[in-house]
Amino acid sequence: MTDTPTAPPSQPQEVRIAHSPDSDDAFMFYALTQGLLDVSGLSISHVLQDIESLNQAAFEGRYEITALSFHGYAHLASRYQIMPSGASFGDGYGPLVVSRETLTREDLAGKTIAIPGQLTTAHLALRLWQPEVLTTIVPFDRILDVVASGEASAGVVIHEGQLTFQEQGLQAVVDLGAWWKGDTGLPLPLGCNGIKRELPEDIKRRLCRLLTESIEYGLDHRSEALGYAIRYARGLEDDLARSDKFVGMYVNEWTRSYGEAGKKAVQLLLDRGFESGLLPQHITAEFIEA
């Protein structure tokens, strides 16, 4: 009697999750990356890079799940679909254009503005607001310094700098999220989580459910998740109140689910970007249903 050969154990599905080294993203992914959810059958690794680097890596399809700016997504829709949760919206607030002196929209025409990346939504929103600016790409965590030193006439500030720019003697020219809401009545879509198209459908749906569970865990265990996320709060590490405020700006009910208004806002941003000649083709946003 011969033994029946047994099938070799299946290899776990490798999932590389890439996001920005920011407190809001760390809060969102806390439960998923810290072993608090059932990820059996998956081999999950965690990659931290700034959003422009992630946008560029996405052109290679390097990561199974990656944070993307919506500006970047417009160039990457053939590789990635949008996960149904995990978005960052600025609901009446968003990237700030800051300067040393009082400036108007008209004053900035022809001036050099520091931006955190070519494919950031901050850059797209800036161009929609004032198409005639010149831009220079500066790492997001150096923009306040570049503006304060006079190397650029103004800069578009994202992340924690939105709460700290006045400490360097700078002032706001415009809040692009407030401008967008006043113009459209909708929140400004900033970033999403993209998932690779080529993954098996069952894996994609499971990962979408896990991300939603991770977000809900953080929101339901706020102090615990914030205690983890604050280590990524550049300049706010010792300021729990402001760290909590920043996380709350970008991890909230919009992050749990886009809803119809959120999806409408995403499509409107993509439509306006194309109509203004800022995007190479018209894109219809494609959301995975978990």
234 in Cβ contact with 140 (< 8 Å)? no
Would 13-89+189-275 and 96-184 be classified into the same CATH topology?
A: yes
What pLDDT does residue 238 have?
52
52 Cβ contact list (under 8 Å, min separation 6): 116, 117, 118, 119, 120, 137, 140
285 in Cβ contact with 82 (< 8 Å)? yes
What pLDDT does residue 158 have?
87
Percent of the chain with pLDDT over 70: 92
What pLDDT does residue 7 have?
43
User: Out of 50-59, 97-106, 116-125, which region has the weakest mean confidence (pLDDT)?
Assistant: 50-59
31 has pLDDT over 80? yes
Residue 159 a catalytic site member: yes
**Greatest mean pLDDT range, 26-30, 131-135, 240-244:** 131-135
Q: Please, what is the average pLDDT of the chain?
A: 89
**What b/e sequence results for 259-286 when a residue is b if at least 16 CB atoms lie within 10 Å of its CB, and e otherwise?**
eeebbbbbebbbebbeeeeebeeebebe
Percent of the chain with pLDDT over 90: 70
- Please give the CATH number for the structural domain made up of 96-184: 3.40.190.10
How confident is the model over 26-30, as a mean pLDDT? 89
Model confidence over 78-112: pLDDT tens digits? 999 999 999 999 999 999 999 999 999 999 999 99
The confidence band for 178, taking pLDDT boundaries of 50, 70 and 90, is very high
Model confidence over 200-247: pLDDT tens digits? 999 999 999 999 999 999 999 988 988 888 776 555 445 556 667 777
User: Out of 50-64, 84-98, 261-275, which region has the weakest mean confidence (pLDDT)?
Assistant: 50-64
User: Out of 31-35, 139-143, 205-209, 236-240, which region has the weakest mean confidence (pLDDT)?
Assistant: 236-240
What pLDDT does residue 236 have?
47
- Give residue limits of the domains in the chain: 13-89+189-275, 96-184
What pLDDT does residue 36 have?
95
Q: Please tell me which residue in 71, 159, 221, 282 is annotated as part of the active site.
A: 159
- Please give the CATH number for the structural domain made up of 13-89+189-275: 3.40.190.10
Residue 283 has φ and ψ, to the nearest 5°, of -120, 135
37 has pLDDT over 50? yes
